[in-house]
Structure 1
Amino acid sequence: MTADSSIDEEPALTIPRPPRFWASPFGWSFAAAAGVALACSILLLSTAVQPPAQPVVLTLKGVMASKADFFDDKEVQRLLRGHNIQVEVTRRGSREVALEVTGQQSEQYDFAFPSGQPAADLIKNDRQAKGKYNRTTRLFTSPIVLASYREYAETLSRNGAVTTHHRPPETSLYYTLHTGKFIELGENGSTWNSIGIQEQRDVNDRVIANGNRVLAHSSGVCRSNSAATYLSLLAFVRNGTRPPKDDAEVSNVAQQIQPLITAAGMPESDLFKSYVTPEGKSQGPIVVVYEHQYFAYQIEHVRRHERVDDTRVLLYPEQEFQSDPEFVALTPNGHRLAEVLATDTALQERMKELGYRVTEGADVRGTRQLFDYLRVNGIIPPADRTDLTSADFPELGLLENLIRTVGRCQQ
């Protein structure tokens, strides 16, 4: 049998290849979706690692005298940052603050904070006359006092010029200054040696000698509120316990009290810093300061040493001159700062820690609050005043005349 040369081949199994991925409709759809997802992921990740936006900090510029110490305080700065506020301070004497604000050609400051009302009145009167923004706020008070050392206070006591607040006198930090008698000692040319300072001994049991006249040292009256206030006190007492009423009285009383003014030639805050150094007595055994400076020092001394510094004392003049510093907002942002200071309880607590009498409710002078705070912190406060005699400033124009005459000021 002859084999058939034609062999039927089995059909080949053909498996069709799927289309290429990117050539398929699904591929492009997937790619588009994946791209969107990747972009969203990147956006979410970048958002997650990006730090939160920082709040805008409002920087306010102020010009002030001794109250610059308040804004230099680290805790005050921290509390203000909680309100997104920081303060840049330009230091001047109180009278210089007024002259700078009234003479400025542009509004470079948001607020002024002179240490006393006369300088604040100069600013307010000028801005009202010029139709410029000004709003005032009273935050705290601090009377003018004379800071001294126990040996000198006891010497004045034996000469009838001071009376201790507490007994026994060696535990008292406070004395009432009989201003008229103190002025007499200075006018008579009395020296510390002539009134018996040599009967006192220092902490090293050495006899104290001082041939200088019995006078209080202050910053310059041409620039300093504390010095101008002390000047007004001397004028009030020497003018028959009333302020000079006209130019003739100003001229007369200026001649009498000019020899009693001894300027240390340094800012108010620096004068106090010198007082609390070991060399303070060489600067002057009696210096004109603000009460809050002394209390802030004692509060810190108790914190560091668990006791008061009983070698340094305060003399409160019989005729009290209450220093009422006024915060003068020169812009709306300046007023915003004033509102924060007046309403933030933590800031007001810090004011007491720095020795200020904080105004609140019926306690308009803040005396009770401050004295309670001192007691809690181991410091006996001054005795409550039973004689509420207060000295008055001369009328503003007459005060300026008195300052220029006694201080021989250039402006």
Structure 2
Amino acid sequence: MTTDLPHVVEEPSFGIDRPPRFWGPRFGWPFAASAGVALVSAVMLLVNAFTPVEQVVTVRGIMASKEDFFNDEEVQDLLLKHHIRVEVTNRGSGEVAHEVLDQKTQHYDFAFPSGQPAADLITNERRRRRQYTRTIRLFTSPIVLATYREYAETLVGNDVADRQSGGPGGTLYYTLDMAEFIELGKRGKTWNDIGIGAYRNPRGVSITNGNRVLAHTSGVCRSNSGTTYLGLVAFVDNDHEPAQTEADVDRIAREIQPLITAIGMPESGLWQAYITPEGKSQGPIVVVYEHQFFAYQQSHRHRTGRTDTERVLLYPEQEFQTDPEYISLRPGAGERLGRLLLTDPQLRRRMMELGFRVFDDTDAAGTRRLFDLLVGRGVPRPEERTDYTRAELPELNLLQRLVDAVGRCSQ
């Protein structure tokens, strides 16, 4: 008899998985990395919380035509790197002086008139009053006459101007005989009279212009360029001597008043009109600053690959530099900005890129480095001056009398 073995039914087994190792690849290392980043971030937040952050300081100024420097985006970016933002109120140079001296300067840290007469008026009077005043000379820009090639060539044909270099279709720069130019105005000569009709407009039609041969300014009562040009004309008309007496001023004013034609717009507006296609209708010759032309030609070449050979400059034989002065009106932010403008290499290079002649110890006139920069950017440079005759303004009170008489500023 066979005995069957009993059937054994096994208990079901339950497997219990071991929990993953905390530092294993599925969980631990990613967690550690995230925790490390969080820890570093927390530490940096704590460090920043206890580290003082230098705030951007707003420096407020009142100035004339050189506002284009502070309105330049690259200048603004460079200043922000030094935690400085500049806000500018625009006035004519004469208005800058009057507003400063009328003590309406509670909102201004600095003044920046475009020329020496207004700067002298501010600094002399403030020092007399024992008010805080610090001045810095940063750059200069001569007064020039901007015109169009056919008008410059018409003057050449009348022995009133000479080409500086290049042929009739090449040079951008001419030297103007101011005495002969003034004489054309005194004699009432028009552009038609002196041969502008020999040139044709883009449509092939002879140019006609029955207006007198004059330079147009933005107005002598409020603008430095207008006042400076008036002083230049007075200097040449008075046999290359500044007026010495009130009688001299009154006589000169009567003689030259018809030669000073103001368009009645600010200096910046006059320049902007000149570079538009309609510019010739505003006046074929306008009084501007050299730096405006240089900056324009650099920009034009950058945009188009060539210089604008239609627009050219007339340099008066008697050079007249305009020496704007940065005037700090109170210690603090205004003085700090002035020191930065004087010493920062990037800001000083930008001044040259905007066409200014920048003063330094190796180049007192500021011309050599500027002209080298122009050539390096494909813009022809004007010739070096061989005649260093400089026009002189009369004393400040006599200049103001001349301005009032010619501009009829009190009317």
TM-score bucket of the superposed structures, by smaller chain:
0.7 to 0.9
Q: Distance in 2 between matches of 1:189 and 1:326?
A: 38
After TM superposition, give the deviation of residue 82 of structure 1 in Å: 0.8
Q: Distance in 1 between matches of 2:371 and 2:299?
A: 16
After TM superposition, give the deviation of residue 55 of structure 1 in Å: 2.2
After TM superposition, give the deviation of residue 43 of structure 1 in Å: 7.7
Partner deviation per Cα, 1:195-231 (whole Å, 9 max, x = no partner): 1111111233221111111100001100000000000
After TM superposition, give the deviation of residue 77 of structure 1 in Å: 0.3
Q: Report the equivalent of 1:18.
A: none
**1:281 paired to 2:280:** yes
After TM superposition, give the deviation of residue 44 of structure 1 in Å: 5.6
Tell me the secondary structure at the aligned position of residue 336 of structure 1. helix
Q: Report the equivalent of 2:335.
A: 335
Q: Distance in 2 between matches of 1:136 and 1:177?
A: 33
Q: Residues 130 and 166 of structure 1: is their aligned pair in 2 closer, same or farther, counting only changes over 3 Å?
A: same
The aligned amino acid for 1:61 is R
Matches within 5 A, 1:9-408: 47=46, 54-105=53-104, 107-332=106-331, 333-408=333-408
Q: Distance in 2 between matches of 1:191 and 1:75?
A: 44
The aligned amino acid for 2:404 is R
The answer to whether the 8 Å contact 1:66/1:269 transfers is yes
Q: Distance in 2 between matches of 1:44 and 1:105?
A: 49
Tell me the secondary structure at the aligned position of residue 60 of structure 1. strand
Structure 2, gaps ≥5 residues long: 1-38
Of structures 1 and 2, the larger Rg is shown by 1
Q: Report the equivalent of 2:4.
A: none
The answer to whether the 8 Å contact 2:99/2:105 transfers is no
The aligned amino acid for 2:366 is G
Q: Distance in 1 between matches of 2:131 and 2:45?
A: 49
The answer to whether the 8 Å contact 1:293/1:354 transfers is yes
What fraction of aligned residue pairs are identical, expressed as a percent? 57
The aligned amino acid for 1:84 is H
After TM superposition, give the deviation of residue 362 of structure 1 in Å: 3.0
Tell me the secondary structure at the aligned position of residue 96 of structure 2. helix
Q: Distance in 2 between matches of 1:95 and 1:270?
A: 17
Q: Residues 83 and 209 of structure 1: is their aligned pair in 2 closer, same or farther, counting only changes over 3 Å?
A: same
Q: Distance in 1 between matches of 2:248 and 2:44?
A: 80
Q: Distance in 1 between matches of 2:370 and 2:81?
A: 25
The aligned amino acid for 1:387 is D
Between stretches 316-325 and 162-171, larger displacement belongs to 162-171
Q: Residues 177 and 60 of structure 1: is their aligned pair in 2 closer, same or farther, counting only changes over 3 Å?
A: same
Partner deviation per Cα, 1:258-300 (whole Å, 9 max, x = no partner): 0001101111111001100000000010000000000000000
Q: Distance in 1 between matches of 2:340 and 2:196?
A: 49
Q: Distance in 2 between matches of 1:244 and 1:366?
A: 29
Q: Distance in 1 between matches of 2:41 and 2:197?
A: 85
After TM superposition, give the deviation of residue 365 of structure 1 in Å: 1.4
The answer to whether the 8 Å contact 1:151/1:202 transfers is no
Between stretches 47-56 and 135-144, larger displacement belongs to 47-56
Q: Distance in 2 between matches of 1:137 and 1:213?
A: 41
**TM-score, normalised with respect to structure 2:** 0.87
Q: Distance in 2 between matches of 1:279 and 1:52?
A: 57
Q: Distance in 2 between matches of 1:279 and 1:115?
A: 27
Q: Report the equivalent of 1:12.
A: none
After TM superposition, give the deviation of residue 169 of structure 1 in Å: 2.6
Q: Residues 105 and 348 of structure 1: is their aligned pair in 2 closer, same or farther, counting only changes over 3 Å?
A: closer
Between stretches 61-70 and 205-214, larger displacement belongs to 205-214
Q: CA RMSD in A?
A: 1.9
Partner deviation per Cα, 1:24-62 (whole Å, 9 max, x = no partner): xxxxxxxxxxxxxxxx99986963897976421111110
Tell me the secondary structure at the aligned position of residue 162 of structure 2. strand
Q: Residues 339 and 201 of structure 1: is their aligned pair in 2 closer, same or farther, counting only changes over 3 Å?
A: same
Q: Distance in 2 between matches of 1:186 and 1:143?
A: 23
Q: Which runs of 4+ in 1 moved over 3 A?
A: 40-54
**TM-score, normalised with respect to structure 1:** 0.87
The aligned amino acid for 2:71 is D
Partner deviation per Cα, 1:297-335 (whole Å, 9 max, x = no partner): 000001011110000000000001011111111112212
Tell me the secondary structure at the aligned position of residue 201 of structure 1. coil
